[in-house]
Structure 1
Amino acid sequence: MRLLMLAGILLLAQPQNNANALKIMYHKDTIATVHRTEFTHPFASLLNQDQYDQLVDHIAQKVDRAPLNAKIDDQGAIIPGKNGHKLYRSAFKNHFYRYYYSHGSAKMRVPLIKDYPKVDAELLAHICVQRISSYATFFNAGNESRAHNIDLAAKALDSHVVFPNETFSFNQTVGMRTKKKGYRSAPIIVRGEFSEGVGGGICQVSSTLFNAADRAGLKIVERYSHSRRVPYVPSGRDATVSWYGPDFRFKNTYNQPILIRAHKYGGSISFALYSSDMINVAPRKVPGASTHLPKEIHRKKESLHSSQP
């Protein structure tokens, strides 16, 4: 047994013979060079599936390109989406097996399959017809960091489409709020409530969207209020969010897709929800937000990790 183990170790320790290697090409570049012995169990002439799976994942990370959904610009014009592509895994497997179970060297180009955008220009043109709901809230535009964060989140939500029976997640759609993504620390005090953290102001975005979704009659799946009242929406009409905590989610219970339009202008953030003219909306009555700007006081070294009001 020890002799067999020693033989396996010596086999693995031998330098690879590039004459028997497989070159994997992406366009004109060699993105990987592998050898049969790297994928063979040391004590049996069997393919090491774990090693093969690691190779496939490594190749996919290098070649996959996500498609871009169609969007609507500030002038209302539709910007067409773009196709992406991803590793054609079954075709790659066939190429690799052909090399693995033969002799000598080989070269293969990474097989790709088109990845189409979920939202194309035709769909947007179909569902931007009828406005089914809208809601706006107001803030002090003089707080530049907070206003900047609100603008970033609004842009992440603009032109997002929620399909029938699909559940929208604020956190998943906007993504993690980090400095790397451009979010700033926005310390504020609202009616004696201190808060400070990267992404401050995001909860005003989620709260505004909640009221627009609720007004449209959509099913609210998950929504949490702040521990204390916030001034930009009526009492009990807020939706606090945090990447590692609360989320705001709603389900599209209609038979038509819902288009989210988000717009930050000056000291206001507004959402308008659209769909096709075939939708039968069952709206709810929702109180409007006050146009009175909340008093904001800057204070350093104050941090809030649970939410960003």
Structure 2
Amino acid sequence: MKKLTLFMLLFLIIMFPMPSFSQSDDQSNDQVILQRAEIEQYALDYTGGIYIDDGKLNGLMNMIEKKVYQAPENAFLDENGQIVEEETGVTIDRSKFDIMFREAFYNDEILRLKVPKRTIYPRVDRAMMEEISKKELGSYVTNFRKTNVERSHNIELAAEAINNHVLFPGETFSFNEVVGERTEEKGYKRAPVIVRGELSEGIGGGICQVSSTLFNAVDLKGVQIVERYAHSRRVPYVPPGRDATVSWWGPDFVFKNLYNEPILIRALVRNGSMIVKIMSTETAEYFQGDD
């Protein structure tokens, strides 16, 4: 058994060699360097080092990407309405790396290869945030009891998840996709929920108040409601027929931006109030087109 395990380990090392990452002396960030011996390991087997194994090379780029990747961060509005600057991200420049690697592979005089990177720009920068936060298209407020600590906590978490979300023209917003699964690991707590018309307790209770407040805020001419479901019994925080129930393995709340400009969702929780505002530019219009 031990011999078999050792054989499998050696096989994996030969077939999928790990890159010998090192840090450059002239870079403060993680700069990946490939040494000559490492480059030569990506030759196609049984060819005498004449050809490159493209499968191994692609695997190498994937591993490097996992190491160097830094996601960009959009500009956003803080709780006081002030703009926080965007941050660029970084990843491997796969096209440039592929060219440089092939050149190094066939040139014995190249002793090491510095992996090239490229900047990833965020979708929303300061200038865009300034523009899309000028005009209020719609808003809605619901209230809840702050004394129900667990439910209030869940509302705050879900509101934070949708806050500052920017939906570009033609894009679709899914509440479940944006907020994600409501689990204890993510900080959600047990609170009252409606299940099949009955009041019970479940993880993430209170989330439907966030989705219902959002529904009423985005119920605009320039927003198409794609998917919405009502609770099986009346809820106290919105008028009858104005709710939007959601659950991870069940109903979702989905809508589409039909405006000619991006829309910004502002979701805030203050003093027992759930507040949602839909913002955009001064030139935001809904073009219905020919009927």
Q: TM-score w.r.t. structure 1 length?
A: 0.75
> Is the contact between residue 25 and residue 110 of structure 1 (CA under 8 Å) also seen in structure 2?
no
Match of 2:268 among 241, 263, 287: 263
Query: Per the alignment, do residues 192 and 249 of structure 1 end up closer, same or farther by CA in structure 2, a change over 3 Å counting?
Result: closer
- Post-superposition Cα deviations, 1:9-35, rounded to whole Å, max 9, x if no partner, equal 9xx87x98xxxx974445456687773
Query: Per the alignment, do residues 37 and 114 of structure 1 end up closer, same or farther by CA in structure 2, a change over 3 Å counting?
Result: closer
Q: Structure 2: how far apart are the matches of 1:24 and 1:98?
A: 19
Amino acid at match of 2:274: I
Q: Does 1:82 align with 2:87?
A: yes
For 1:197, what is the secondary structure of its paired residue? strand
Match of 1:64 in 2: 69
Query: Per the alignment, do residues 41 and 127 of structure 1 end up closer, same or farther by CA in structure 2, a change over 3 Å counting?
Result: same
Match of 2:156 in 1: 151
Amino acid at match of 1:260: I
Q: How far did 1:181 drift?
A: 2.6
> Is the contact between residue 162 and residue 258 of structure 1 (CA under 8 Å) also seen in structure 2?
yes
Q: How far did 1:95 drift?
A: 2.4
> Is the contact between residue 22 and residue 107 of structure 1 (CA under 8 Å) also seen in structure 2?
no
Match of 1:213 in 2: 218
Q: Structure 2: how far apart are the matches of 1:274 and 1:207?
A: 18
Match of 2:133 in 1: 128
- Post-superposition Cα deviations, 1:141-195, rounded to whole Å, max 9, x if no partner, equal 1111111111111112222211111112222222332333322232457997233
Q: How far did 1:91 drift?
A: 1.4
For 1:204, what is the secondary structure of its paired residue? helix
Query: Per the alignment, do residues 54 and 189 of structure 1 end up closer, same or farther by CA in structure 2, a change over 3 Å counting?
Result: same
Query: Per the alignment, do residues 86 and 202 of structure 1 end up closer, same or farther by CA in structure 2, a change over 3 Å counting?
Result: same
> Is the contact between residue 190 and residue 230 of structure 1 (CA under 8 Å) also seen in structure 2?
no
Match of 2:165 in 1: 160
Match of 1:109 in 2: 114
> Is the contact between residue 34 and residue 112 of structure 2 (CA under 8 Å) also seen in structure 1?
no
Q: Structure 1: how far apart are the matches of 2:87 and 2:119?
A: 11
Q: Structure 2: how far apart are the matches of 1:265 and 1:194?
A: 26
For 1:39, what is the secondary structure of its paired residue? coil
Q: Does 1:196 align with 2:201?
A: yes
Query: Per the alignment, do residues 242 and 53 of structure 1 end up closer, same or farther by CA in structure 2, a change over 3 Å counting?
Result: farther
Match of 1:179 in 2: 184
Deviates more, 1:48-57 or 1:81-90: 48-57
Match of 1:226 in 2: 231
Match of 2:57 among 52, 61, 68: 52
Q: How far did 1:121 drift?
A: 1.1
Amino acid at match of 1:81: E
> Is the contact between residue 136 and residue 280 of structure 2 (CA under 8 Å) also seen in structure 1?
yes
> Sequence identity of aligned pairs in percent?
46
Gaps of 5+ in 2: 1-6, 24-28
For 2:73, what is the secondary structure of its paired residue? coil
TM-align CA RMSD: 3.1
Q: How far did 1:216 drift?
A: 5.5
For 1:214, what is the secondary structure of its paired residue? coil
- Post-superposition Cα deviations, 1:41-83, rounded to whole Å, max 9, x if no partner, equal 4344543332222221111111111111111112221111111
Amino acid at match of 1:242: S
Q: Does 1:42 align with 2:45?
A: yes
Match of 2:280 in 1: 275
Q: Structure 1: how far apart are the matches of 2:145 and 2:125?
A: 36
Q: Structure 1: how far apart are the matches of 2:137 and 2:174?
A: 20
> Is the contact between residue 33 and residue 112 of structure 2 (CA under 8 Å) also seen in structure 1?
no
Q: How far did 1:134 drift?
A: 0.6
Match of 1:292 in 2: none
Across the two proteins, how many residue pairs are aligned to each other?
A: 267
Q: TM-score w.r.t. structure 2 length?
A: 0.80
> Is the contact between residue 217 and residue 281 of structure 1 (CA under 8 Å) also seen in structure 2?
yes
Match of 2:26 in 1: none
> Is the contact between residue 87 and residue 122 of structure 2 (CA under 8 Å) also seen in structure 1?
yes
Gaps of 5+ in 1: 1-8, 283-309
Instruction: Using CA pairs under 8 Å that are at least 6 residues apart, name the structure with larger relative contact order, 1 or 2.
Output: 1
Query: Per the alignment, do residues 191 and 53 of structure 1 end up closer, same or farther by CA in structure 2, a change over 3 Å counting?
Result: closer
> Is the contact between residue 263 and residue 271 of structure 1 (CA under 8 Å) also seen in structure 2?
yes
Match of 2:259 in 1: 254
